[in-house]
Amino acid sequence: MPSDDRPQADGGTELTPETAPAETTAPDTAQPKTAPAESEARDVAAPEVWHRVHPLTPILESLGVLVVFAIAAAYSAQNFIQGALEGLATGEGVDLSFAGWLRSHPLVLLIGLGAIVLVLLITGLYSWLAWKVMGYRVDEDALYARSGLMFKKQRKARLDRVQSIDLKQKLLPRLFGLAELVFDVAGGSDSNVSLKYLKRRKAEILRDELLGAVRAVKRSGDSRGPAGPGAALPGAASPGTTATGAATPGTIAADAAPTGAVHDPGPIADGPVDAPVDTSVPERRGDSIGVRLTKRLGALAGGALEEVEDSLNSMLAPYQVSTELGKEGEIIRVPVHRMIAASLLKTETLVTVLVFLGLFVAVGVLFVLGLTEVAVPLLFGALPGLFAAGAVVKKDLGNANFVVRMTESGLAVSHGLFSTSRKVIPLDRVQAVSLHQPFLWRLTGWWKAEYNIASGSDSADTNLLLPVGDIDQALLMIGLALPDPQVEDGVSARSLILSAMYDRKSTDPDAAAAEARFFRQPPSSRFIDPLVWKRRAYTLTSALLILRLGAVERRVDFVPHERVQSMQYRQGPLMRALGLGSVAVHSTTGPIKPRVTHQSQEHALRFFRDHAERTRLARQRFDAEAREPTENQQ
């Protein structure tokens, strides 16, 4: 074990270990000659031993230098080709004077080649020395990763702060069979710790062992009491100060909050940060369907897929969807061709295509008119934009082969075409869920599902539940991430959600009854929202706040009552003049920003006070259900 006075930093902050006691580095070859899998499983997480990463790691990390050379070469090639085309168009021919000069000065060419070889040798030597100091170590409390030849750096990922461990394979490391482990550590946007690179098999073994260690550490920390839905979120608020029940149209309380009020009664009690779903806590009414299923899956013996499948379909009954568990618990797979089609049908892709078509038409006209000196620069000037558009498509292709599996640790997601990534979504820390439909996706009926999670990430690319899917797949994914909607009798959960997705265009038999449950914006809001005021609306169930947004690009947000962090009533000068008000429903960092927008002032104020109490009672009940087993054991 390292000395307690060794410089350390929680959550992956940097520290300089020059003053730390020396550690003995044990290379992978110094292991007993046992079966490879057994040797790796026993040795990969041994304490007091610094393990080296793969020797190719420094080289793969230094590829940025080669990228600079490649960009410089491409720029030179572009200038040469552009000049050649201009020369051919004007009849002057191609200027090869520089090539002739090089032939007459061979020494210059040899010096250039020698410089390139020298740079490669220096890079190779530096990479070897850098590899010698790279390493990682695991003890019962944390994982440590060190690197840096000239500027030493050590990162620490405390196991009780780890929220997830992702396995990623970028294109080049994937070709060499290498993988990267990324530790999502609570503590801010710069707190994540990355371990590069290990052989894939070794990375998988280390990841599985550390996930088990994270669960064990979290259980041992539960003596402080189970954490609530918003635990370990600095500054998060426990909503609510007044008492009401679940709201239905026309039953909002008459109390009013002061204009501009922020409902923020104080910080939530700190607690251990969740990694994959904590199966030590029994099922609660506020748990999502995925969390409840994960807890049951952990209690079942292996090979009980049929029983798990029956439980899943029974829980999803309110959404009127069913699924079959495939190999290794697979429930959804998004094929490559669907991801490509979805990327091409995005609004931004369509706009880009139209811009380039217009540009190419303009270049063609200029060539016809003989204005080649204008056409050629214009054509080459568009190349950076073309590369940028290609990067957007490549980014979307990163979600190709998107596969969702139910595992004992939670919802396991893997995706990637050239570079692959695998992670487990801790469903018990999902704070809000959203469905989004770009305009052209209406032709296919596809939707995208995103989520907010109690983490430092706010990227929509890393907060994906489903990159693209049909209506049943979308309902399946939000069903797994949300608690039972608890819709009142007279309308089904599916009918209510379909009305939220398609408003009056819903073809569900109970669409009229479902639409009557929504609070729409008043006519006075049309001056502020001329395009969307007829669509924007919200409704409440006993478990969820459902927000209907967007007109061109449809969007539906779902926020469980017990997951609300705080609320704020807002009213600007124009809204005050029109008698309108809005209420921001604060969630954790992420792509979803829930807000009840531009309701009448009286309605917005009543919603503010009603929902504050509703969410307070929901959180109180949720936390009480988690404490009951501990109190009974005592």
pLDDT value at position 617?
93
Residue 154: its pLDDT value, please? 85
For residue 531, give both structure tokens: 């395009």
What pLDDT, on the 0 to 100 scale, is given for residue 444?
93
Domain extent listing, the chain:
10-53+134-224, 63-130, 262-275+429-633, 340-396
Phi and psi torsions of 608, nearest 5°:
-55, -50
pLDDT in the model for residue 229: 40
Angle (CA) 127 394 73, round 5°: 50
* 88-95: long-range contacts, CB 8 A cutoff, minimum separation 24: 89/372, 89/373, 89/376, 90/372, 90/373
Tell me if 300 sits within 8 A of 258, measured CB to CB: no
CATH fold, domain 262-275+429-633, is PH-domain like (2.30.29)
DSSP string of 254-296?
A: S--PPTT-EE---BPPP-PPP-S--TTSPP-TTSBHHHHHHHH
CA distance 7 to 14: 10
What is residue 537's predicted lDDT score, i.e. its pLDDT?
A: 96
Task: Tell me which architecture the domain covering 10-53+134-224 has in CATH.
Answer: Roll (2.30)
**CB neighbours of residue 388 within 10 Å:** 10
Rounded mean pLDDT of the chain? 75
Residue type, 375: A
Dihedral pair phi/psi, residue 343, rounded to 5°: -65, -40
Side-chain-side CA neighbours of residue 356 (13 Å):
17
To the question of pTM greater than 0.75 for the whole model, the response is no
* CA atoms of 235 and 589, how far apart (whole Å): 12
DSSP label of 324: -
3-state secondary structure of 587: coil
Here the tokens at position 226 are 């189970």
As a residue count, the chain comes to 634
- Calculate Rg over the CA atoms of the chain: 29
> What Cα–Cα distance (Å) separates residue 426 from each residue in 99, 247, 405, 567?
61, 30, 13, 25
Q: Can you tell me whether residue 51 is helix, strand or coil?
A: strand
Question: 538-555 burial string, b = 16+ CB within 10 Å, else e?
Answer: bbbbbbbbbbbbbbeebb
Q: What pLDDT does 594 receive?
A: 95
Q: What is the structure's pLDDT at 61?
A: 76
Distance CA 447, CA 438 (A): 8
pLDDT for residue 82:
65
- At 276 the pLDDT is 52
Token pair recorded at residue 516: 């009557």
Residues of the chain with pLDDT under 50: 1-46, 223-257, 259, 265-275, 301-303, 458, 460, 630-634
Each residue of 581-609: b (16+ CB within 10 Å) or e?
Answer: bbbbbbbbbbbbebbbbbbbbebbbbbbb
Alpha helices in 5-53 (DSSP H): 36-43
β-bridge mates for residue 512, sequence order: none
| Cβ proximity of 173 and 197 under 8 Å | yes
- Report d(CA 207, CA 215) in Å as an integer: 12
Helices 383-397 and 372-381 cross at an angle (nearest 10°) of 30
Residue 158, Cβ density class (10 Å: 0-12 exposed, 13-18 middle, ≥19 buried) = buried
pLDDT of residue 155: 85
C-alpha to C-alpha distance for 584 and 564, rounded to whole angstroms: 10
pLDDT at 421: 83
> Within a 10 A sphere around the Cβ of 84, how many other Cβ atoms?
15
Name residues whose C-beta falls within 8 Å of residue 125's C-beta, 6 or more positions apart in sequence.
none
Query: Smallest Cα–Cα separation from 135: which of 21, 28, 20?
Result: 28
Q: How far apart are CA 447 and CA 470, in angstroms?
A: 6
Q: Are domains 10-53+134-224 and 262-275+429-633 of this chain identical in fold? A: yes
Instruction: Give the pLDDT of residue 211.
Output: 82
